[in-house]
Amino acid sequence: MSLIESLPRIRRWRLPRPDGLVPWIVPLAIVLVWQAACVGGLVPARVLPAPTEVASAGWKLLLSGELLRNIWVSFWRAIVGFAIGGSIGFVFGLANGLSQLSNRLTDTTLQMVRNVPHLALIPLVILWFGIDESAKLFLVALGVFFPIYLNTLHGIRTVDPQLIEMGRIYGMSDGELFRRVIFPGALPSIFVGVRFALGIMWLTLIVAETIAASSGLGYMAMQAREFMQIDVVVLSILIYALLGKLADSTSRALERLTLSWHPAFQK
Amino acid sequence: MQEALRFLVPDAEPVDRTDFIERARRLRDAPEASSRRGLPLSIRSLHKSFGANQVLRGVDLQIPAGQFVAIVGRSGCGKSTLLRLIAGLETIDTGSIGFGEATRPADVRVMFQEPRLLPWARVLSNVEVGLGRDRASSDAQLRAEQALAEVGLDDKRGQWPAVLSGGQKQRVALARALVSHPRVLAFDEPLGALDALTRISMQRLLERVWHDQGFTAILVTHDVAEAVALADRVLVIEDGRIARDIEVDIARPRRRGSAALAALEGSILRDLLQSADETTEL
């Protein structure tokens, strides 16, 4: 008895921080090792600037307003592109999951388009839209479309048919059946799609901005390369990592909020 | 085995006798009580095939209002199909099913082997599903709470189904079936997935709500002991027809493991096994 009771105390003694900080131990350690390697002269500054230099470059860009402006531009493109592509993917996923006719009509076409790497369309997109906003939005929307489409479709297809039968016995109308049985049943799978799509969203956006843009984080990194500002290049890469983490945390929070019934989200 | 288990499950239900009588009185005095009698069923030369497989080959059956009928038979004999036809879950090939004055009432409810609860709805809203189109009415929540109390789960109304035990889930499913006061209630192996102790207390619960509410009950089961313990009448189905129709003339409340029940169970089992042997000899 005394042993079992003392177990939590031992853990608390070893980990005095709140649990929320645990995931940040590894990134922090990496930064520390990196700093030590730069200060110790193991890594020349031309190859990789020290974290402190990256931070000071970031501070300078922050003061000039350039950093926030570029982050905002990229963020806006990401959100709008995601909203457009995501909602189209969701609608097609619903339609093809619920209607056999719609599925037979469009699924083959969508599968063919899916297998074209959407970044291969960049030359075509530049010819169509120039380096306009719509070019980036188009690419992001296209990239985000497929994971959401596929996972929505899969989610709807795999809703327990016994629950649907139950709903029909209890006189649910089609709309009610969708709202109370099919959609909640498909939601876990839709969220898997959202998380995949968030990754693709950043990837697409950064590549598109690197190749064809006059603002945004990708553009900032490419400009910095032209002027050999390696600290700014590294800074942009770190910002991508943080933005990616932010997007993932947001979707996890949404998951926890809407899937609180799921055994995996219960504590 | 059943005899031994009897000592583990106290004879008195968690609800005591006075509570039982009080509830019965309340139900009898309820304004809708008079219309809440069961419906009689009249089934005439019912046939059903799935492809080349003839499952039901002419079933004729009269069930008086409020009777508790158990249907037993070996796997694949067509007993579940008969139940699904009664519930309107399959279409009839030929023949007819009549429910008293109506031919297709919305008053039939089904309870399945799986509870089929919506995992994303709290217990209380799962019960409200059973109200069908009355869900929007102002007393929906009250009725759902009453049904939950009926199965002894009023303290679980705010839980997710995932945290309930198998027996509790099945009781929520029963509350969902009862909440609309159905006039015919069909059970498709409702206790098949439960452990022996939970089964026995669920059987008592089924018997009690049937007694309280007076619906016509149709129970499909593998378990002959369960059939003779609960039903007024046991039908044995073989090769898509009713092979035996047995009145269970034993007074309620029945003592599980009593000699009369055991003798009847033995006779039905002997019949089923005998016909099984004949089939294997062929």
CB proximity A184 to B under 8 Å? yes
In sign, the C-alpha dihedral spanning B203, B208, B211, B214 is negative
Report the pLDDT averaged over residues B55-62: 90
Cis peptide bond N-terminal to B253, omega within 30: yes
Contact (CB<8Å) A180/B160 = no
Nearest to B130 among A165, A170, A266 (CB): A170
Report the percent of chain A where pLDDT is more than 90. Answer: 46
pLDDT given at position A187: 93
Q: In what order do the strands lie in the sheet with B233-238?
A: B108-111, B184-188, B216-220, B68-72, B233-238, B241-247
pLDDT, greater one: B102 or B258: B258
pLDDT category at A14 given cuts 50, 70, 90 is low
The answer on pLDDT for A133 being more than 90 is no
Question: Which residues in A lie closer than 8 A to residue B90 (C-beta atoms)?
Answer: none
pLDDT given at position B8: 46
Number of domains composing chain A? 1
Contact (CB<8Å) B129/A263 = no
Report the pLDDT averaged over residues B264-279: 80
pLDDT category at B25 given cuts 50, 70, 90 is low
Question: Which residues in A lie closer than 8 A to residue B109 (C-beta atoms)?
Answer: 169
Contact (CB<8Å) B163/A163 = no
Summarised one tens digit per residue, pLDDT across range B35-44 is 457 888 889 8
What contacts A83, CB < 8 A, 6 or more positions away?
none
The answer on pLDDT for B173 being more than 50 is yes
In a domain, A25, yes or no: no
pLDDT given at position B277: 67
Q: State pTM to two decimals.
A: 0.77
For residue A198, give the nearest of A85, A116, A114 by alpha carbon: A85
Contact (CB<8Å) A262/B119 = yes
Report the pLDDT averaged over residues B1-16: 44
Report the pLDDT averaged over residues A237-263: 87
In a domain, A18, yes or no: no
Report the pLDDT averaged over residues A32-51: 88
In a domain, A172, yes or no: yes
Residue in chain A nearest B117 by alpha carbon: A163
Contact (CB<8Å) A180/B129 = yes
pLDDT given at position B12: 38
The answer on pLDDT for A17 being more than 90 is no
- What chain B holds in terms of domains, given with CATH numbers, is 2-34+66-90+103-107+183-281 (3.40.50.300), 119-181 (no CATH)
In a domain, A223, yes or no: yes
Indicate the pairing of strand B216-220 with strand B233-238: unpaired
In the block, residue with structure tokens 């493109």 = A77
Report the pLDDT averaged over residues A49-64: 91
Range picked from A131-135, A155-159, B40-44, B73-77 for highest mean pLDDT: A155-159
In a domain, A44, yes or no: no
The domain that holds A199 is classified in CATH as: 1.10.3720.10
Q: How far is B53 from chain A (nearest CA, A)?
A: 23
Summarised one tens digit per residue, pLDDT across range B199-217 is 888 899 999 999 988 999 9
Q: Strand ranges (DSSP E) for chain B?
A: 41-50, 53-63, 68-72, 94-99, 108-111, 184-188, 216-220, 233-238, 241-247
pLDDT given at position B102: 66
The answer on pLDDT for B110 being more than 70 is yes
pLDDT category at B123 given cuts 50, 70, 90 is very high
The answer on pLDDT for B29 being more than 70 is no
222-261 of A, contacting B, C-beta below 8 A: 259-261
The answer on pLDDT for B70 being more than 90 is yes
CA distance A164 to B8: 38
The answer on pLDDT for B18 being more than 90 is no
CA distance B127 to B174: 9
Average pLDDT in chain B: 82
Summarised one tens digit per residue, pLDDT across range B220-265 is 998 899 999 999 999 999 888 898 899 988 888 888 778 888 888 9
**Is the ipTM, as predicted for this complex, more than 0.85?**
no
In a domain, A70, yes or no: yes
Instruction: Dump the DSSP string for B124-144.
Output: HHHHHHTTGGGGGSTTHHHHH
pLDDT given at position A264: 78
pLDDT given at position A1: 40
In the block, residue with structure tokens 């998380």 = A195
Residue in chain B nearest A183 by alpha carbon: B120
CA distance A23 to A28: 9
Q: Which structural domain, as residue segments, surrounds residue A99? A: 64-258
Local structure of residue B234 (DSSP, 8 states): E
Report the pLDDT averaged over residues B67-86: 89
* CB burial readout A43-63, b (16+ within 10 A) else e: eeeeebbbbebbeebbeebee
pLDDT, greater one: A192 or A11: A192
CA distance B240 to B55: 5
